[in-house]
């Protein structure tokens, strides 16, 4: 770019580099999705088409951005995790957030007709906001993911009971809300089973556990010696980078890996122990074709 007398305006730009050696979570949320879901008559308490659309958009984001190691989604929310060694966009917060949000939104709109063929989109179109949060340790990251999955269970149990009271029990929204005020999980389970013969344990896992998006490598067998991950030894942007050859090999292995959506428990240790590549950032073995 040629120098000019106007170039001084660049000095007003503020640096927004995220801290090195920290896990980065970009969390996106639907903007005004309560009205949006009513406009398109989403089924209550859960609309499987809407959730599958969210998951399809998340898979597309992971395909476009191989630096993302795992994503987790519930309702109109998705969290995308970048490894602490990530150097994408020099770890600029604004670049990371806007790239994830815009890519997700673009695919959400692009794929809409595949899931809602009878309901064409019209303005105002769906949009999402986003933020970047940093976590210094693996335990912090795992606690964040656990928090989101616990929220999924709490919210879904409430919504399942709330809408059962309305749709089957004939209550209005205010009466249903009043009845559930101060209730515990056991109370809601009792209402579902005793009044409506609904066993919450039999509800689809996607509603109870949310959606986990990750690359599909061979699972480590239970009882295998765990991979030792010393956080002090994990390469960061300020340390010696991997050789170009190793970088290219890792990229190829990630590109070959199938991106899957699973509805599993991510709170227990077993999930992470059987998928050590999530925390080590070293691609696993590609599963053999059946």
Query: Model confidence over 225-279: pLDDT tens digits?
Result: 656 555 554 555 545 455 667 777 777 778 778 999 999 999 999 999 999 999 9
Q: What is the pTM of this model?
A: 0.91
Q: Are 46 and 156 in contact (CB under 8 A)?
A: yes
Write the pLDDT tens digit of every residue in 137-164.
999 999 999 999 999 999 999 999 999 9
| Triad 289, 215, 211: Cα angle to 5° | 115
For the chain, report the end-to-end CA distance as a whole number of angstroms.
54
Cα distance between residue 189 and residue 199, in whole Å: 7
Cα distance between residue 165 and residue 174, in whole Å: 11
SS3 94: helix
Closest listed residue to residue 128, CA positions, set 155, 107, 114 = 107
Listed in sequence order, the residues at least 6 apart from 107 whose beta carbon sits closer than 8 Å to its beta carbon are 56, 57, 60, 61
Distance of CA 227 to the CA centre of its chain: 25
Cα distance between residue 57 and residue 60, in whole Å: 5
Bridge partners of 27, per DSSP, are: 79, 131
Cα distance between residue 148 and residue 257, in whole Å: 26
DSSP alpha helices (H): ranges in the chain?
33-39, 48-64, 93-115, 138-167, 173-180, 185-196, 205-209, 244-256, 269-273, 277-280
Specify the pLDDT at position 18: 97
Write the pLDDT tens digit of every residue in 44-92.
999 999 999 999 999 999 999 999 999 999 999 999 999 999 999 999 9
Exposed / middle / buried, residue 264 (Cβ in 10 Å: 0-12, 13-18, 19+): middle
């Amino acid at each position: 770019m040629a120098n000019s007398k106007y170039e001084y305006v660049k000095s007003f730009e503020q640096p927004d580099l995220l801290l090195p050696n920290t896990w980065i979570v970009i969390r996106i949320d639907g903007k005004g999705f309560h009205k949006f879901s009513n406009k398109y008559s989403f089924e209550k308490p859960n609309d499987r088409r809407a959730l599958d659309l969210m998951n399809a958009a998340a898979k597309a984001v992971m395909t476009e951005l191989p630096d993302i190691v795992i994503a987790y989604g519930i309702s109109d929310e998705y969290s995308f995790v970048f490894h602490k060694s990530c150097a994408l966009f020099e770890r600029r917060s604004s670049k990371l957030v806007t790239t994830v949000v815009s890519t997700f939104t673009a695919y959400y709109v692009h794929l809409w007709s595949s899931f809602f063929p009878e309901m064409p989109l019209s303005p105002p179109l769906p949009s999402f906001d986003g933020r970047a949060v940093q976590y210094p340790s693996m335990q912090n990251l795992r606690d964040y993911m656990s928090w989101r999955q616990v929220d999924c269970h709490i919210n879904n149990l409430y919504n399942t009971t709330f809408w059962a009271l309305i749709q089957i029990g004939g209550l209005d929204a205010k009466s249903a809300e009043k009845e559930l005020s101060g209730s515990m999980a056991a109370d809601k389970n009792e209402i579902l089973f005793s009044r409506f013969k609904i066993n919450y344990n039999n509800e689809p896992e996607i509603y109870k556990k949310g959606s986990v998006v990750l690359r599909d490598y061979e699972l480590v067998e239970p009882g295998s010696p765990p991979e030792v991950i010393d956080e002090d030894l994990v390469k960061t942007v300020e340390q010696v980078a991997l050789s170009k050859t190793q970088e290219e090999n890792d990229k190829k292995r990630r590109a070959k890996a199938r991106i899957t959506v699973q509805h599993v428990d991510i709170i227990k240790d077993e999930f992470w122990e059987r998928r050590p590549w999530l925390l080590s950032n070293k691609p696993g073995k590609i599963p053999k074709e059946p």
